[in-house]
Structure 1
Amino acid sequence: MASIIDDLKMHYKFGGIAQRLIYWNVACFLGSLFFYDFSVGTFNFPNWIALSSEPSVFMTKPWTLLTYAFFHDGFSHIFFNMIVLNFSSTLFLTFFSQKQLLGLYILSSIFAGIAFVSGYYFLNFSASIVGASAAIMAVLVATTTYSPLMNVRLLLIGNVKLWHITLVILVIDLMQIRIENTGGHIAHLAGAFFGFIFIKLLQNGTDLSKIVSTIIDFFVNLFRKSPSTPFKKVHKNYKKPVANPTSKIVTKDKTQQQIDEILDKISRSGYDCLTKEEKEFLFKAGK
C-alpha cells in the first residue's frame, strides 16, 4: 500500500500538468460524494460548486465558472472524461507547453460557462451543470486545429486521422443538443469553438494562456518568502583573494547527477519506465 501511495505521489510530482488535472478532477469527485443523495441515486451539488444558469445565483458566485469544470455527476461521467483528457492532453503536449495546456483548460472552462449561462438565459431555461467536458473538448479541438492530419491508432480500428475522431464527437454533440442535456452540449460546443480560436490566435502571435500564467505567477510570488540578504561587513584594508584561474571546471554532485539522469529518462519515456530502485531513489531525494 505504501509503495502505491509513493508511486501516486511521484506521478503527481513529475507527471506534468495533464496528470495533475486528472488528479484534481478525481479528488474533487471523491469529495463530491458528500453531495450524493442515496435515496434517489443522484448528486445534489450546491450552487457554490455547480454553475447555475440563474443570473441571480451566477452573479453572486462567479467562481463557479471554474469550479464546475472539476466536478462530475457520476462515475461513468468522470471515467470517460479522464480518458479523453489523458488522450487529448498527450497529443496537445506534443506541440505545446504545460502552461499552455493549463491556460487553455481554465480559459475554455470560463468561456464555455459563460456560453451556457447566456444560452439558457435566452432560451428561458433554468439548470446547473458540472463536468470537465467543455475544457476537454477545447484541448481536443485545439490539437486538431493545429495538426488535423495526425495519425492516431485506435484499438480494433487501426490508424485514423485526428480530425475524424474530433468530427464524430462534434456531430454527436450537435445531434443530441435538442434531445437531452442541452446545456451540457452548448458548453461542449463552446469549448470546442474556444479551442479553435485559441490556436488561430496563437498562430498569429497571441498566446491567451499567458493571462493565466501571469495571474498564477503573481500569486505564487506574492506568498513566496523573499530570501533575506545577509549583513555584509566592509573592511577598508581587505584585499579580495584572487581566484585560482586553473579551477574553472565545476564538478556536479553525484546525487544531483543521478537525479538529472532519471528526470531525463522520465521526459523521454515517462515515469512508468523507471525501475523500482530509481523510483525509490527519486522519492527519497524529493523529501
Structure 2
Amino acid sequence: MGTIITDLREKFRNGDVVIQLIYINVAIFVVTALVGIILKLFGLGEYASFSFLALPASVGRFLMQPWSVITYMFMHAGVWHILFNMLCLYWFGEIFLMFFSSKHLRGLYLLGGIVGGALFMLCYNVFPYFLPALESSVVVGASASILAIIIAVAYREPNYRVQLFLVGNVSLKYLALFVVVVDLMFITSSNAGGHIAHLGGALAGLLFAVLLNKGIDLTRWINKILDFFFRLFRYHTWHRKPKMQVHYYDSVRRESDFEYNQRKKKKDEEIDRILDKLKKSGYGSLSSEEKKRLFDASKK
C-alpha cells in the first residue's frame, strides 16, 4: 500500500498541471465517497451529501458557505459524472497546453468555475422561472472549468481538428459552437444549473482568450494568489524539516539571491517572448528549441 501511495505521489509531482488537476479531482471524489459510506453506516446519512461543499443558488446559503464557489468545481455527483469530466479535462487540457502556459490553465480552471458559479447564482435569483427551486438548488462539477478551457483554445486555434468517436475529425470551432448551443437549449431542463454554469465557464474562456491577445491576462490575479499560498506551504514544509548543516569545501560558489533572481527573470522573459511569437504566428513558427523550452516551462 505504501508503495502505491509513493508511486501516485511521484506521478503527481512529475505530472503536468492537467494530470495534477485530475489527481486532485479523483482524490476528492474517492475520499468523499468513502467518508459518505461511513457516515451512512453510522446513521449520519444527512451529512453524507457534503452539501456544504456544493455551490447553492441561494445567496443566503452561499453567505454561510462562501468557500463553495471554489470547492464545488472539485466535487462530482457520481462515477459517470467525474469520468466524463476527467476525460474531457485530459483531452482538451493537453491541447490547451500546446498554446498556453500551465499557469494559464490552472488559473482558467478556477476562473471558469467562479464565473460559471456566479452566472448560476445570478440566473436563479433573477429569473422567475427558477425561483421555486432557489432554496434547494446546488451545482457541482468541473464542467464550467472545462468549458472555459475548451472555448479558450477553440478561439486561439479554431481550425485545430480533434478526433471524435463515431463522428471523425472536427474543428474545435464547430465543437465549441455545438456545446454552447446544446447548453442554451437545455437551460430550462432538470439540470438547468449545470447548463447555466457551463455557459458561464464558456464566457470566461472566451474573455480570457480575447483579452490575452490584447495583453491582458485575466488569470494573473488568481495565479498570484495561488503562488502566494504555494510559497507559504513550501516555507512551512521547509521549516518542519530537521535542520542540518552541510559544509562544502570545494571551489563551487553558491549562487546569490540576486544572481538567481536575474537568471529567473531572463528565463521568464524568454518564455514571454516565445508565447508572444506563438500568439502572433502559431505553433508551427516555433523552432525546436523554442518548443522544448515552452514544453519544459509548462511542466513547472
TM-score (ref. length: structure 1): 0.73
Change in 2 beyond 3 A, CA 1:164/1:42? farther
Q: Match of 1:79, SS?
A: helix
Pairing partner for 1:173 from 180, 183, 189: 183
Q: Which amino acid aligns with 2:9?
A: K
Alignment-derived partner of residue 9 in structure 1: 9
Q: Which amino acid aligns with 2:174?
A: H
Q: Match of 2:52, SS?
A: coil
Change in 2 beyond 3 A, CA 1:156/1:116? closer
Q: Match of 1:115, SS?
A: helix
Q: Which amino acid aligns with 1:95?
A: F
Structure 1 residue 84 corresponds to structure 2 residue 84: no
Change in 2 beyond 3 A, CA 1:52/1:9? same
Change in 2 beyond 3 A, CA 1:42/1:17? farther
Q: Match of 1:59, SS?
A: helix
Pairing partner for 1:64 from 68, 77, 100: 68
Change in 2 beyond 3 A, CA 1:78/1:42? farther
| Mapping for residues 64-143 of structure 1, pairs under 5 Å | 64-123=68-127, 124=131, 125-126=133-134, 127-143=137-153
Q: What is the CA distance between 1:43 and its match in structure 2?
A: 9.6
After superposition, the CA RMSD in angstroms is 3.1
Q: Alpha-carbon deviations, 1:136-170, whole Å to 9, x = none? A: 00000111011110021234433221122222222
| Mapping for residues 27-42 of structure 1, pairs under 5 Å | 27-33=27-33, 34-35=35-36
Alignment-derived partner of residue 192 in structure 1: 202
Distance 1:42 1:87 in 2: 36
Distance 1:106 1:143 in 2: 16
Q: Match of 2:170, SS?
A: strand
Alignment-derived partner of residue 248 in structure 1: none
Alignment-derived partner of residue 203 in structure 1: 213
Q: Alpha-carbon deviations, 1:63-113, whole Å to 9, x = none? A: 100100000011110010001111110110010111110000011111111
Q: Match of 1:159, SS?
A: strand
TM-score (ref. length: structure 2): 0.70
Report which stretch shifted further, 156-165 or 22-31.
156-165
Structure exhibiting the larger radius of gyration computed from Cα positions: 1
Q: What is the CA distance between 1:222 and its match in structure 2?
A: 3.6
Contact 1:47–1:57 (CA<8 Å) still a contact in 2? no
Distance 1:171 1:130 in 2: 21
Contact 1:104–1:139 (CA<8 Å) still a contact in 2? yes
Alignment-derived partner of residue 280 in structure 2: none
- How many residue pairs get aligned? The number is 234
Change in 2 beyond 3 A, CA 1:2/1:129? same
Q: What is the CA distance between 1:5 and its match in structure 2?
A: 4.7
Q: What is the CA distance between 1:2 and its match in structure 2?
A: 6.8
Pairing partner for 1:144 from 154, 168, 176: 154
Report which stretch shifted further, 166-175 or 43-52.
43-52
Q: Which structure carries more helix by proportion?
A: 2
Unaligned ranges ≥5, structure 2: 246-250, 254-291
